[in-house]
Structures are given as structure tokens and as C-alpha cells.
């Protein structure tokens, strides 16, 4: 039996019993933790605020026989305004789900934890459009998981691909392929999309990129990351809004 305190964020919860919830927490030093929050659905429970999605705080955990119970909580941030915008909320839930699919219990994942908090903060408190933010998150997510896409040279022959030349993204090999080594199912990636990814990988996932809403390759990065996950996602990857409504992406050149 032991009592510990962990900074963590709630990735998921499942109701059980009449008033309880099982929380799936992401701790930067301990990875995934399943912890029971007894009575948290009672209106005046002191664990009420601890048991919502996106809640970041210090969780007091009591451990017995490998099972955790939440015994106390202090809130750091709950990203509440995210609930006011359905598309941004959906992007945030997808990020939580990606983290849950990627990390393991007991795993130190500080880099991914900071990436998640940083991107959630931008998504919640800035007016940066969500499509480039999420695309940047996915590029950095791939980097933290060890499959940063290679974006200058063909991953098969090593030949440099000129910035304006046509190229495809090989999802299995993890980067660009030249025309000679492209498999039929490898999607094309436009020069502007490659430039976007190179820029965010060099300068941060919330980097300002000119024309970012047009050049952020959201669907492509969702496929790229999705192909590497061990577990299926519970949340559908969000789609960029159709062209013409202000945060759209048109055909790649």
C-alpha cells in the first residue's frame, strides 16, 4: 500500500456503479494509469472536477495490489473553453485518444506529455486555426514515437528530392519516395505540404506558417500516424472543413 501524488491529465473515463468512474490518466513519468474515482459523480464530490476529460491536475493516488484509487485532487487546468467549439473539441479528443493508443503503463513520456499540453493550450486559448495546429501535433507526435517522416530524400534510394518536384509519402517506410520507388498506394504529397511539415518540425508544432490552412496536410498525417499505432482509435480522425468556409484546404498543387 502506498500513497503518491502524480501530475496527470485525464485521457478517458468510464462510468461504473452508481457514482463512480474509472479514469485513464496520462502521467509524464508513469505513462498510463488506471485509477478509480469513487463517488466522483455525486454533485458535491470533491473528485467531481478530477474526473472530466482534459482535466490536468495533481492526483493523490492510493495504490494497493497494483490498483489505484484517487483520494485527493488539485486542479491545474481543465481547458474548459474547448467545449465551446465542436471542431476544436473533436481535435482535442483525437489527441487524447492518440496518446492513449501510443503510451504504455509505467512508460516515461515527458516529451509527448509536454507536446499534448502545449497543443491543447493553443487549441483552447489561442485563435490559431485548428487544422494546422493538429497537423503540427501529428508531425511532432510521430517524432516522439520514433518515426519522424523523412522529408528531403527518397527513403529507398537516398536521392535528394528537389523542393518543387513531385513526390509521394510512403507510410510504411516513413518518408518521401521518388517517382521510381513509389508504390501504387503511396499518397502524393505536394511541395507546399512538405514545406509545412519541415517548418513545423524545425520550429515547433504551433509555428506560424504562411498559408498554413491551405498547406497543412491533415488527412495525410492522420493516415501516416494511424498506420503506426498498435491500438485502434476510438475517435474518428477529424476532417478539415470543406473549401470556402474560412479554414479550408484546397487541392494540393
Q: Does 8 bind Zn ion (CB under 5 A)?
A: no
Query: By three-state DSSP, how is residue 213 classified?
Result: helix
> Which residue, 157 or 188, has its beta carbon nearer to Zn ion?
157
Q: Does 150 bind Zn ion (CB under 5 A)?
A: no
> What 8-state DSSP symbol labels residue 222?
H
What backbone torsions phi and psi does residue 183 show, to the nearest 5 degrees?
A: -80, 155
Q: Cα(29)–Cα(8) distance, rounded to whole angstroms?
A: 9
Smallest gap from residue 161 Cβ to Zn ion (A):
8
Q: Does 181 bind Zn ion (CB under 5 A)?
A: yes
Which of the ranges 91-99, 114-122, 157-165, 192-200 carries the binding residues for Zn ion, by CB under 5 A? 157-165
Strand 67-77 relative to strand 175-177, pairing: unpaired
Q: Does 154 bind Zn ion (CB under 5 A)?
A: yes
> Which residue, 88 or 182, has its beta carbon nearer to Zn ion?
182
Give the count of residues interacting with Zn ion (CB under 5 A).
5
Q: Does 157 bind Zn ion (CB under 5 A)?
A: yes
Which of the ranges 44-52, 63-71, 83-91, 154-162 carries the binding residues for Zn ion, by CB under 5 A? 154-162
Q: What is the dihedral of CA 143, 146, 152, 155, to 10 degrees?
A: -160
R_g over Cα of the chain = 20
Q: Does 178 bind Zn ion (CB under 5 A)?
A: yes
Strand 175-177 relative to strand 20-27, pairing: unpaired
CB 192 within 8 A of CB 167: no
Which of the ranges 62-70, 84-92, 170-178, 215-223 carries the binding residues for Zn ion, by CB under 5 A? 170-178
- For Zn ion, the binding residues (CB under 5 A) are 154, 156-157, 178, 181
Amino acid at each position: 500500500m502506498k500513497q503518491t501524488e502524480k501530475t496527470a491529465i485525464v485521457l478517458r473515463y468510464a462510468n461504473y456503479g452508481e457514482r463512480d468512474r474509472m479514469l485513464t490518466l496520462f502521467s509524464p513519468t508513469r505513462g498510463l494509469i488506471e485509477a478509480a474515482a469513487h463517488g466522483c459523480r455525486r454533485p458535491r464530490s470533491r473528485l467531481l472536477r478530477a474526473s472530466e476529460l482534459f482535466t490536468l491536475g495533481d492526483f493523490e493516488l492510493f495504490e494497493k495490489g497494483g490498483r489505484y484509487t484517487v483520494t485527493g485532487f488539485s486542479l491545474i487546468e481543465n481547458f474548459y473553453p474547448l467545449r465551446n467549439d465542436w471542431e476544436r473539441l473533436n481535435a482535442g479528443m483525437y489527441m487524447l485518444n492518440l496518446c492513449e493508443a501510443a503510451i504504455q503503463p509505467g512508460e516515461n513520456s515527458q516529451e509527448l506529455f509536454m507536446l499534448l499540453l502545449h497543443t491543447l493550450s493553443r487549441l483552447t486559448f489561442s485563435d490559431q486555426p485548428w487544422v494546422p495546429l493538429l497537423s503540427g501535433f501529428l508531425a511532432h507526435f510521430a517524432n516522439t514515437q520514433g518515426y519522424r517522416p523523412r522529408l528531403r530524400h527518397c527513403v529507398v534510394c537516398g536521392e535528394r528530392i528537389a523542393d518543387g518536384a513531385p513526390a509521394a509519402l510512403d507510410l510504411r517506410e516513413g518518408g518521401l519516395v521518388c517517382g521510381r520507388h513509389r508504390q501504387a498506394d503511396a499518397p502524393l504529397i505536394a511541395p507546399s505540404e512538405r514545406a509545412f511539415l519541415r517548418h513545423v518540425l524545425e520550429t515547433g508544432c504551433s509555428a506560424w506558417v504562411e498559408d498554413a490552412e491551405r498547406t497543412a496536410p491533415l488527412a495525410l498525417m492522420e493516415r501516416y500516424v494511424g498506420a503506426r499505432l498498435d491500438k485502434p482509435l476510438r475517435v474518428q480522425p477529424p476532417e478539415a472543413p470543406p473549401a470556402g468556409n474560412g479554414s479550408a484546404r484546397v487541392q494540393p498543387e
